[in-house]
C-alpha cells in the first residue's frame, strides 16, 4: 500500500526533523519552513494531511489554513494544528476555520501518530451509510438506529450527530456547528447547539443505548469519542 504523504509546516527546523523521524517508516514526509513554501508545495506534490504550526513568522498557521480552504484542490485536505500549551483560543479559532484536530506542544510521538491515523481514517468516511459504536447512520433517510431500533431524531438533530460521528475524536466548537448546520454566522448564543445535543443524548438513552458517545469538551464544544 502506498504510504500517505504528510506535509510538516513549522518554522523550527529541529521540530520538523523530529516529527519526520517520528513518522519515518509509516508515512512519507515533506517539510516546509513557512506558509508560502507550504502553499507552493501543494502545486508540485501530493499531500494527504498537513501538520500545521500556528505560531510562524510571515504567514501564521491561521492564514495558511484560510488560504487552503479557499483553493479547490486543498480545501478537503485534513489539517492538524500544532499549538502551544494552554492556547485554548487558538484551538477554538483553528477548529472554527476548518482544522480537523490539534496537538499541543510538547507532545508524545505516539499521541501524534495516533491522531494522524485517526484523522486520516475519519477523512476516508464518505459513505451515506456507516456504522460506529454500534450505531448505524443512514444519511439518505436521516436515520440513526441501534440494535434494530430507530432513534427518533429530528432532521437537525441527525445532521448534528452525523457531523460529529463521521469524524470521531474531532472536536467541533459550538460556533462551528452553528455555522455548518444552521448556515448562518454564530451570534454568541450556544443554547441551540446545547439543546440539540441534550435531546440526542436523551433519545439514545430511551432507545436503550447507554454508552456516553457524545462528549462535552469544556471550553470548546463537542466530540463523538473515538473509543467507547
- Mean pLDDT for 49-55 is 93
Q: Above pLDDT 90, what percent of the chain?
A: 41
pLDDT above 70 (res 127): no
Q: What's the rounded Cα separation, in Å, for the pair 164 and 225?
A: 9
Residue spans of the domains in the chain: they are 5-123, 129-224
Confidence at residue 98, expressed as pLDDT on a 0 to 100 scale: 84
pLDDT of 79 strictly over 80: yes
Q: What does the mean pLDDT of the chain come to?
A: 86
Which pLDDT band holds residue 85 (cuts at 50, 70, 90)? Answer: low
Asked if pLDDT for residue 121 goes beyond 90, the answer is no
Q: What kind of fold does domain 5-123 have according to CATH?
A: Rossmann fold (3.40.50)
Tell me the average pLDDT across 44-67: 90
Residues 6 or more apart from 178 whose CB is under 8 A from it?
Answer: 184, 186, 190, 192, 193
Length of the chain: 228
Q: Is the pLDDT of residue 184 over 60?
A: no
Q: Is the pLDDT of residue 122 over 50?
A: yes
> Quick check: do 5-123 and 129-224 share a fold?
no
Give the confidence band of 186 by pLDDT, cuts at 50, 70, 90.
very low
Taking the C-alpha atoms of residue 199 and residue 57, their distance in angstroms, rounded to an integer, is 44
Q: Which CATH class is domain 129-224?
A: mainly alpha
185 confidence band (pLDDT: 50, 70, 90): very low
- Give the number of other CB atoms < 10 A from CB of residue 208: 10
- Provide mean pLDDT across the span 116-129: 72
CA 31/CA 51 separation, integer angstroms: 10
What is the spatial distance between Cα 135 and Cα 143, in angstroms, rounded to a whole number? 10
Mean of pLDDT values over 169-177: 85
pLDDT surpassing 50 at residue 3: yes
Tens digits of per-residue pLDDT, 10-43? Answer: 999 999 999 999 998 889 999 999 999 998 888 8
Instruction: Find how far residue 156's CA is from the centre of its chain.
Output: 20
Amino acid at each position: 500500500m502506498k504510504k500517505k504523504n504528510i506535509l510538516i509546516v513549522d518554522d523550527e527546523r529541529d521540530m520538523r526533523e523530529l516529527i519526520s523521524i517520528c513518522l519515518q517508516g509509516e508515512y512519507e514526509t515533506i517539510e516546509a519552513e513557512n506558509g508560502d513554501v507550504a502553499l507552493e508545495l501543494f502545486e508540485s506534490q501530493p499531500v494527504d494531511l498537513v501538520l500545521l504550526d500556528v505560531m510562524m513568522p510571515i504567514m501564521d498557521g491561521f492564514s495558511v489554513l484560510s488560504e487552503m480552504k479557499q483553493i479547490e484542490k486543498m480545501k478537503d485536505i485534513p489539517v492538524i494544528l500544532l499549538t502551544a500549551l494552554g492556547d485554548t483560543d487558538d484551538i477554538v479559532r483553528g477548529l472554527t476555520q476548518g482544522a480537523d484536530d490539534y496537538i499541543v506542544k510538547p507532545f508524545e510521538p505516539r499521541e501524534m501518530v495516533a491522531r494522524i491515523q485517526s484523522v486520516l481514517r475519519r477523512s476516508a468516511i464518505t459513505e451515506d451509510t456507516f456504522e460506529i459504536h454500534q450505531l448505524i447512520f443512514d444519511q439518505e433517510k436521516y436515520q440513526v438506529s441501534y440494535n434494530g431500533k430507530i432513534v427518533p431524531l429530528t432532521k437537525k438533530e441527525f445532521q448534528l450527530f452525523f457531523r460529529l460521528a463521521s469524524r470521531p475524536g474531532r472536536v467541533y466548537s459550538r460556533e462551528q456547528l452553528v455555522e455548518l448546520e444552521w448556515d448562518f454566522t454564530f451570534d454568541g448564543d450556544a443554547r441551540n447547539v446545547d439543546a440539540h445535543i441534550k435531546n440526542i443524548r436523551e433519545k439514545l438513552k430511551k432507545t436503550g443505548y447507554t454508552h456516553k458517545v457524545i462528549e462535552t469538551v469544556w471550553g470548546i464544544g463537542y466530540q463523538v469519542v473515538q473509543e467507547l
